[in-house]
């Protein structure tokens, strides 16, 4: 019994320290928010590579599928952060073409999440209040019909909106996007009766850019990748030639608002020279 008061005092001290740390972090986050908003320079198009879902689950002792579920919840949070700051466009990379060859059970879980989240976004008050136009980009021909229906209905319900542009990159690969753009250009030129040698002689970068999946919005000027991996892995290869990059050590489900604000503050401190 003599140890009970001591243990209670230790628990009280631990709670007090935890509350103090929370208050300090909250205050720091508020200062960061004011600094980022006060600077005024924000990305016109933010790219997000959502990496580390499975490693997050493994580190927490959870099934790998749970990492994707937590990752989907985090994507909703980050959408809110973008809306609060007024970022005009964002592309989130949910599923790569390489990932479509993963274990069938894991892939089925990811696609079920995709369908669920597409239906949630279609009725999300934030989407409609902020007039967010949502589009799925990538190669989706092999997706189940019910997933395709959910994505199509989401796109149709937001197609007339003129607010933030949100691209969901799913079944997406940068090389595949470039190949698709070249194919489209060649098909259009062939339909116009032009000779292949003539098309090749006149081919310009703008001809490719015009047929990319999200050709109607600016190239991403800032790309964030979570999980500590320092590579693009094929994300928007054509469009990212002058992008600024930020690699964050935390796994995607653990990505905090303070991490997001730190990344933006880092972007605001850079001098973009566009190769000059």
Residue 55 annotated as binding? yes
Residue indicated by tokens 């098309």: 199
Residue 91 annotated as binding? no
Residue 54 annotated as binding? yes
Residue 244 annotated as binding? yes
Q: Which strands sit side by side in the sheet containing 165-172, from one edge to the other? A: 133-137, 165-172, 89-96, 45-49, 222-225, 244-247
Residue 194 annotated as binding? no
Residue 52 annotated as binding? yes
Residue 178 phi, psi (nearest 5):
-65, -45
Catalytic residue among 51, 124, 219, 221: 51
Residue 102 annotated as binding? yes
CA atoms of 171 and 98, how far apart (whole Å) = 8
Residue 211 annotated as binding? no
Using an 8 Å Cβ cutoff, are 63 and 57 in contact? yes
Is 51 annotated in the active site? yes
Residue 64 annotated as binding? yes
Residue 265 annotated as binding? no
Is 216 annotated in the active site? no
**Full 3-state SS string of the chain:** CCCHHHHHHHHHHHHHHHHHHHHHHHHHHHHHHHHHHHHCCCCCEEEEECCCHHHHHHHCCCCHHHHHHHHHHHHHHHHHHHHHHCCCEEEEEEEECHHHHCCHHHHHHHHHHHHHHHHHHHHCHHHHHCCCEEEEECCCCCCCHHHHHHHHHHHHHHCCCCCCEEEEEEEECHHHHHHHHHHHHHHHHHHCCCCHHHHHHHCCHHHHHCCCCCCCCCCCCEEEECCCCCCCCCCCCCHHHHCEEEECCCCHHHCCHHHHHHHHHHHHCCCCCCCC
Residue 233 annotated as binding? yes
Residue stretches of the annotated binding site for Mg(2+): 51, 244
Residue stretches of the annotated binding site: 51-56, 64, 68, 96-98, 102, 225, 231-233, 244
Q: Could you give the residue numbers annotated as active site? A: 51, 99
Residue stretches of the annotated binding site for substrate: 52-56, 64, 68, 96-98, 102, 225, 231-233
């Amino acid at each position: 019994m003599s140890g009970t008061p001591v243990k209670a005092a230790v628990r009280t001290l631990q709670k007090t320290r935890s509350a103090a740390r929370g208050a300090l972090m909250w205050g720091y986050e508020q200062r960061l928010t004011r600094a980022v908003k006060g600077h005024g320079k924000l990305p016109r198009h933010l790219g997000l590579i959502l990496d580390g879902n499975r490693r997050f689950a493994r580190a927490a002792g959870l099934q790998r599928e749970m990492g994707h579920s937590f990752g989907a919840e985090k994507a909703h949070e980050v959408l809110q952060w973008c809306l609060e700051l007024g970022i005009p466009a964002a592309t989130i990379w949910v599923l790569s073409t390489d990932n479509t060859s993963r274990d069938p059970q894991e892939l089925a879980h990811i696609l079920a999440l995709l369908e669920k989240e597409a239906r949630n976004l279609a009725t999300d008050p934030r989407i409609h209040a902020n007039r967010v136009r949502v589009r799925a980009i990538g190669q989706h021909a092999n997706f189940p019909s019910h997933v395709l229906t959910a994505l199509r209905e989401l796109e149709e319900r937001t197609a007339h909106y003129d607010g933030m542009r949100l691209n969901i990159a799913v079944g997406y690969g940068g090389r595949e996007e470039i190949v698709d753009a070249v194919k489209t250009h060649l098909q259009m030129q062939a339909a116009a009766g032009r000779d292949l040698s003539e098309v090749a002689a006149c081919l310009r970068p703008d001809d490719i850019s015009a047929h990319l999946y999200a050709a109607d919005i600016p190239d991403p000027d800032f790309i964030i990748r979570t999980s500590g991996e320092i590579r693009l892995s094929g994300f928007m290869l054509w469009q990212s030639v002058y992008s600024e990059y930020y690699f964050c050590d935390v796994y995607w489900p653990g990505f905090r608002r303070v991490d997001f604000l730190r990344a933006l503050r880092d972007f605001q401190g850079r001098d973009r020279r566009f190769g000059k």
